[in-house]
């Protein structure tokens, strides 16, 4: 049962990552930065507010 | 799914959708590690698997989005209310740029490298600084330094439903139904909660974060609600043990695991059995977890009445034996319980269990 859960989780995560990278490549409008300092610098440069997501991925 | 579906829906928002158009006006960042993040500034209930801040380059936080309860990590995550938050964030940003919003006082910095246990058990091993580990190690440190207030640090994020408030989640802080303490205070369905204890709140995340800071000895809280375009002050009398929540999902190291559940005895039953009535926490065991047998922590049975722990029968906060143990004892301690079983008084030991993360 535990192995099945781990396998399912791995498949979902892999699917999510594949979809996310595919989508990032397709979209010029929404770029997701994975570095806090870079987000701050980008907000300074563009004068935009920051939408910051924290995702705990155990 | 612990927020995974919501996370994907947000990150994969189509650019030409209303949500995508809102997000395109932001610098979007998605972080999965806390290694070099100021946990003082970006403080939250660390057991949220998904949490959002809307802020600016000067690290002024406009609002928070997220928050959970014991039912689910997703209880307050909703794409409609997220869009409301994104719209409000843009409005607040424009106000800030025009000088109409005062910059907030920055919270005291706290980096993972400042938490010795976290350094020892994650950073030094090049392991991920997971959000929940920050909360857990902070509490372990507080316990070691005798600074732990379990009602505040262990019972984080009191449940708004304990006040009788059910929110219309897609609409943010709009009240769907008001019962008990909320109804007694005059809160009505259709009200929108606008402030708590003098702090303006735009989202459930804002509300929950501020509500969590209320002194656990407080007897009432002051809210502002919006009704028919008017702002109305409301004083809400806090019910007994308003701070209590189900801790099951948290897996705290500091929580003494007891592996039984009990319900308080009625006053008449306490009197009939000659037990302490005022403040007495005598309670009847209603469930014994299988871990009790696996860990050989105790031999309680369903139906047993636990009326004393280490010779103490009453407490100003606890109304059950298990709550007394969780509040007043440390994880790993062995305790002597006084029990009534089949009408006979007896003593039996209980060894509380301490959870552990990579320790």
A39-to-A26, A29, B239 alpha-carbon distances in Å: 21, 15, 43
Query: How close is the nearest chain A Cα to the Cα of B305, in Å?
Result: 36
* Antiparallel, parallel or unpaired: β B283-288 and B305-309: antiparallel
What does pLDDT average to over chain B?
A: 95
Q: Give residue A28's pLDDT.
A: 59
Asked if A40 and B49 come within 8 Å (Cβ–Cβ), the reply is no
Q: Name all domains of chain B by residue range, CATH numbers in brackets.
A: 160-237 (2.30.42.60), 256-354 (2.30.42.10)
A22 burial via Cβ count (<10 Å: 0-12, 13-18, 19+): exposed
Are the C-beta atoms of residues B297 and B291 closer than 8 Å to each other? yes
Task: Cite the DSSP H helix spans in B145-296.
Answer: 180-184, 204-211, 267-272, 290-294
User: Considering only B119-128, B168-177, B196-205, B317-326, which range has the smallest mean pLDDT?
Assistant: B119-128
DSSP helix/strand/coil, B136: helix
Across the strands, what pairs with B231?
Answer: B226
State the Cα–Cα distance between residues B152 and B279, nearest whole angstrom: 21
Q: Give residue B4's pLDDT.
A: 86
State the Cα–Cα distance between residues B169 and B6, nearest whole angstrom: 14
Asked if A56 and B32 come within 8 Å (Cβ–Cβ), the reply is yes
State the Cα–Cα distance between residues B284 and B271, nearest whole angstrom: 15
At B271, the pLDDT band (50, 70, 90 cuts) reads very high
User: Considering only A12-16, B158-162, B185-189, which range has the smallest mean pLDDT?
Assistant: A12-16
B318-to-B56, B214, B249, B338, B349 alpha-carbon distances in Å: 43, 19, 21, 16, 20
Q: Is pLDDT above 90 for B23? A: yes
User: Considering only A7-21, B61-75, B187-201, B281-295, which range has the smallest mean pLDDT?
Assistant: A7-21
Which own/partner contact pairs does B261-264 have at CB distance under 8 Å and 24+ positions apart? B261/B285, B261/B286, B261/B287, B261/B289, B261/B322, B262/B286, B262/B306, B262/B320, B262/B321, B262/B322, B263/B320, B264/B319, B264/B320
Query: Which of B:65-84 have CB within 8 Å of A?
Result: none
Q: Which residue of B3, B41, B57 to mutate against A (max A Cβ within 10 Å)?
A: B57
Asked if B27 and A20 come within 8 Å (Cβ–Cβ), the reply is no
Dihedral, CA of residue A45, residue A47, residue A48 and residue A54, to nearest 10: 60
What mean pLDDT is predicted for residues B334-343?
97
At A2, the pLDDT band (50, 70, 90 cuts) reads very low
Q: Is pLDDT above 80 for B257? A: yes
What mean pLDDT is predicted for residues B248-268?
94
* Chain A residue whose CA is closest to B55: A50
CB pairs under 8 A between A and B: 136
B31-57 pLDDT, tens digit each: 998 888 999 999 999 999 999 999 999
Q: Give residue B40's pLDDT.
A: 96
What mean pLDDT is predicted for residues B257-269?
96
Q: Give residue A23's pLDDT.
A: 43
């Amino acid at each position: 049962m535990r192995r099945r859960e781990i396998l399912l989780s791995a498949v979902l995560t892999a699917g999510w990552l594949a979809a996310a990278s595919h989508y990032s490549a397709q979209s010029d409008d929404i770029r997701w930065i994975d570095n806090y300092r870079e987000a701050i610098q980008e907000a300074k440069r563009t004068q935009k507010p920051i939408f910051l997501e924290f995702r705990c991925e155990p | 799914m612990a927020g995974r579906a919501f996370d994907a829906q947000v990150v994969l928002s189509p650019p030409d959708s209303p949500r995508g158009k809102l997000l395109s006006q932001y610098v979007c960042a998605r972080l999965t590690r806390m290694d070099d993040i100021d946990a003082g500034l970006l403080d939250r209930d660390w057991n949220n698997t998904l949490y959002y801040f809307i802020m600016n380059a000067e690290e002024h936080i406009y609002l928070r989005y997220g928050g959970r309860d014991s039912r689910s990590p997703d209880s307050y995550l909703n794409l409609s209310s997220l869009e409301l938050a994104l719209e409000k964030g843009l409005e607040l940003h424009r106000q800030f740029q025009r000088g109409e919003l005062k910059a907030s006082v920055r919270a005291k910095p706290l980096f993972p490298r400042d938490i010795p246990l976290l350094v020892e058990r994650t950073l030094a091993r090049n392991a991920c600084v997971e959000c929940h580990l920050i909360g857990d190690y902070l509490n372990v440190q507080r316990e070691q330094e005798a600074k732990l207030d379990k009602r505040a640090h262990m019972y984080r994020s009191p449940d708004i439903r304990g006040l009788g408030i059910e929110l219309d989640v897609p609409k943010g802080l709009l009240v769907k139904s008001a019962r008990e303490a909320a109804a007694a205070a005059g809160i009505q369905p259709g009200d929108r909660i606008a402030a708590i204890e003098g702090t303006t709140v735009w989202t459930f995340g804002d509300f929950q974060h501020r509500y969590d800071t209320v002194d656990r000895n407080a007897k009432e809280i002051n809210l502002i609600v919006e009704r028919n375009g008017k702002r109305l002050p409301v004083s809400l009398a806090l019910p007994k043990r308003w701070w209590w929540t189900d801790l099951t999902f948290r897996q705290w190291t500091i929580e003494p695991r007891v592996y039984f559940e009990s319900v308080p005895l009625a006053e008449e039953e306490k009197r009939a059995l000659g037990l302490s009535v005022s403040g007495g926490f005598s309670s009847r065991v209603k469930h014994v977890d299988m871990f009790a047998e696996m860990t050989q922590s105790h031999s309680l049975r369903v139906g047993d009445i636990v009326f004393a722990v280490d010779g103490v029968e009453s407490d100003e906060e606890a109304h059950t034996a298990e709550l007394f143990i969780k509040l007043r004892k440390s994880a790993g301690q062995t305790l002597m319980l006084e029990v009534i079983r089949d009408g006979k008084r007896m003593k039996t030991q209980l060894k509380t269990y301490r959870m552990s993360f990579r320790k």
